[in-house]
Amino acid sequence: MPSTGGAQHTGDVLDRLINVKSQSAFPAGRKLPEKFPLDINRELSCSTKSQIDDFLSINPEAGMPYGMAPLPPQELAVLKSWIKQGYPNFEKPMPLPADVTEQVRQWESFFNQSSIRDKLVARYLYEHLFLGHLAISDKSGKSYYFRIIRSSTPIGLIANEIATRRPNSDPGEESFYYRLIPIRETILEKTHIVFSLTPQRLEHWLEIFFTEKWAVKKLPDYSTSNANNPFLTFSAIPAESRYRFMLDNVRFFVESFIKGPVCRGQVALNVINDYFFVAFLSPEYDLSVVDKSYLANAIPFLDLPPTSAGPLEFATLWHEGLHSHRRYLEYRDEAYRTHEITKNGLPLSAIWNGGATSISQLTVFRHFDSASVSEGFIGEGPNTVWVIDYPTLERIYYDLVVNFDVFGSVSHQILTRMYMDYLRMESEALFLSFLPVADREPILKHWYRGALAQAKVFYGHSHLLIDTPAVIHYVGKDPKNELIRMISTRSAHSSHRATSFTDNIPSSLKDLGRQSAKQSRWLRHLPELNYVVVHDDHGNITNVVSMIVNRAHANVSFIFGEEDRRIPEEDTLMLVNGLLGSYPNFIFWIDQSEIGKFSDAAKKVSDTKSMDQWVARYGVRRTDPRIWSVLDKLHYYKQHGGESEGLFDVSRYENL
């Protein structure tokens, strides 16, 4: 909304929506009507100034904030004053400290060097950083966030962004420049994917990309073949350089697709399990890194789904993609079975242990229609584990981030989702290759319960399991969890080792953690991501616990029919210290003297009536006037407690 120089806005759309809310607010602290539309896929309206009165006469409950309690009077007054003035300073230039401005200049100079090698590396870096919030700190340690863009104007002039649908689309300019522009909008947790730009990082990049001698004869163009295969586009850059760049920043790249546009809604997220661990194959054992012929020979099998696809092409493209993946699995199996480094099996040292400052292990939680990524292994062992190698990591990133088109055809989006199926299975199978041979297939069958799922895995992708012997010695009867424990101790950095998810959790809450639905019927009434916020007598937050419900599935092999594959009796509850996720589903506001009573009351929930009573006693509903002050306190708590400074999105807050 541009500034209008102080014009009166008594009939403004936003002004009307907040006025209507004060006139037709829902009863404070009560549930919204059952039929009140809250689904993220509901039909939306975008009324103009001339249409808003007619819209509100039909939808009087559509006032803003939508489906929530009215804003507090003092905040409402500030908002109305801003509207009345015509939204002043909406695009006010951000003043930057001199030392930050100098760092921006240095980084822009690095990204815009003239040699062909420099240009290819700059393109590779741009395609991997375009979605990030690039952090540059001033002398005091305060972070300023930037986006990297392609601009038609050079360093020293105002940046003029070249808009393209994807970062690997042709910019359409003979000369363009990589520029850093400040992020002026409010930082939101759901899109805050942080990548720090520091002098140490620049020095490290110069080392990993330019120490080894390699040459580029000609810069790759922006053709479809290059867009569909980054291994072809960047084949001149050593694979070890590319993989180490990604390994140094694994959380950033996994978060890029978890928080990116691709992961919106249930259908997009049901390609992953609700809770799993992620580790990475060490470069010393990754054949795509140690053997230059591996990627060169594999390139024909590594094409990604096309960036554009029509309904008439869907069947052909799906069949071609499946055929290429089968051939790649055969090629990978043969290579790992016969190569000198891997033919005798993968030792524990083949799991990457990170560096002094690198993260080597991640935990991913799915919260139905969103997800979150945390550092380290959190919890006591999920159902599935991934080990990702370089070809899989690069394809996940390009499939779900670079090449995904939010405005693309349904065929394109379905092919993207189906290809991610293949990449998930590759990563699960690589983890299984560390286990005793006799245990691999039974565990894989448990992960893919059901005749159709097993037919897809064992016949559609028959070479999924790498046929190498096991070299790790196991002493117990549960090699999967034994291996998880071994991996969790391999981090080179102590702060990245297995995270104790019960640290700082009040003892009276701990017995709720790791509960199964068989033990606790009340779990079926809880949404996926809940915050238990503990406060003192003055209303100050003393602790926050994320209460996560992990929904169990027979398999995650298919796009549709998820509810038919659910196994509710295997659902579990986890308590994790701190704030996970971007979209809280519900908040419980608990006085520290009431924690025991809260826990005891939770165990007594058995039906919707007792659930309603429990929520009414301890919960903060959408219509509760306290919700805005509670959110303010939560944001203050997370920003001053060393967590992300992004604000939560409460559009998926449940109507409990």
6 pLDDT band, cuts 50/70/90, is very low
Average pLDDT of the chain to the nearest whole number: 91
> What pLDDT shows up at residue 648?
97
The confidence band for 11, taking pLDDT boundaries of 50, 70 and 90, is low
**% pLDDT > 70, the chain:** 95
The tokens of 474 are what? 């196991």
In the numeric block, the tokens 């295997």 are attached to: 570
Give pLDDT tens digits for 320-366: 999 999 999 999 999 999 999 999 999 999 999 987 778 899 999 99
Predicted local distance difference test score (pLDDT) of residue 644? 80
Q: What is the CATH number of domain 507-639?
A: 3.30.1050
Q: For residue 603, what are the contacts with CB-CB under 8 A and spacing of at least 6?
A: 512, 520, 522
Average pLDDT over residues 549-578: 91
DSSP state of 161: B
Residues contacting 493, CB < 8 A, separation 6+: 354, 355, 356, 357, 358, 359
Q: How far apart are CA 604 and CA 447, in angstroms?
A: 32
Kindly list the distances between the CA atom of residue 512 and the CA atoms of 312, 372, 491, 618, in Å, as whole numbers in the listed order: 52, 22, 29, 16
Q: Where in the chain is the domain with CATH 3.30.1050?
A: 507-639
Q: Is the pTM of this model over 0.75?
A: yes
- DSSP-based three-state secondary structure for 573: strand
Closest CA to 354 of 426, 250, 200, 428: 250
**Percent of the chain at pLDDT above 90?**
72
- In eight-state DSSP terms, residue 525 is G
DSSP string, 465-503: S------S---SS-HHHHHHHHHHT--SSGGGS-B-TTT
Least confident of 503-517, 542-556, 563-577: 503-517
Give the pLDDT score at 5.
41
Look at residue 20 and tell me whether its pLDDT is greater than 50.
Answer: yes
Q: What is the pLDDT of residue 205?
A: 97
φ/ψ bin of 479: left (φ > 0), alpha (ψ from -120 to 50), beta (otherwise): alpha
Instruction: Check whether 540 has a pLDDT greater than 70.
Output: yes
pLDDT in tens, 625-640: 999 999 999 999 998 8
For 503-535, the pLDDT digits (tens) are: 678 888 888 876 677 777 788 889 999 999 999
Asked if the model's pLDDT at residue 158 lies above 70, the reply is yes
> Which of the pair, 589 or 44, is modelled with greater confidence?
589
Query: For residues 352 and 281, is the Cβ–Cβ distance under 8 A?
Result: yes
Give, in order, the Cα–Cα distances in Å from 503 to each of 449, 508, 544, 577. Answer: 35, 13, 12, 7
* b/e burial code for range 86-120 (CB count within 10 A of at least 16 → b): bbeeeeeeeebeeebeebbeebbebbbeeeebbbb
Query: Which amino acid is present at 546?
Result: S
91-112 pLDDT, tens digit per residue, is: 667 789 999 999 999 999 999 9
pLDDT band at 556 (very low <50, low <70, confident <90, very high): very high
pLDDT at 1 over 60: no
Task: Judge whether 432 and 397 are in contact, CB under 8 Å.
Answer: no
Tokens 């190498």, residue? 468
Higher pLDDT, 137 or 309: 137
Quick: pLDDT tens for 250-278.
999 999 999 988 877 776 788 899 999 99
pLDDT at residue 606, as a whole number: 87
Quickly list DSSP for 303-335: PPPPS---TTTHHHHHHHHHHHHHHHHHHHHHH
Could you write out the DSSP letters of every residue in 165-217? Answer: SSTTS----SS-EEEEEE--SPPBGGG--EEE--HHHHHHHHHHHHSS----S
Q: Give the pLDDT band (50/70/90) at residue 386.
A: very high
Q: Does residue 577 sit in helix, strand or coil?
A: strand
Q: How many alpha carbons lie under 13 Å from residue 513 in its C-beta half-sphere? A: 20
Chain-centre distance for alpha carbon 221 = 30
Nearest CA among 275, 271, 107, 295 for reference residue 203: 107
- Count Cα atoms within 13 angstroms, Cβ side, for 595: 19
Neighbours of 176 (CB within 10 A): 17
Q: Are strands 572-577 and 541-550 parallel, antiparallel or unpaired?
A: antiparallel
Angle 148-150-153 (CA atoms, 0-180°, nearest 5)? 115
Does residue 347 have a cis peptide bond before it, meaning omega lies within 30 degrees of 0?
no
Residues facing residue 541 across a β-bridge:
535
Question: What pLDDT score does 89 carry?
Answer: 72
Give the Cβ contact number of residue 359 at 10 Å: 22
Question: DSSP label at 236?
Answer: T
Measure the CA–CA gap between 636 and 31, rounded to whole angstroms.
27
Residue 202 is predicted with a pLDDT of 97
How far the first Cα of the chain sits from its last, in Å, is 34
Q: Which of 214, 291, 283 is nearest to 247 (CA)?
A: 283
Q: Give CA 611 to chain center in angstroms.
A: 31
Burial class (CB in 10 A: 0-12, 13-18, 19+), 581: buried
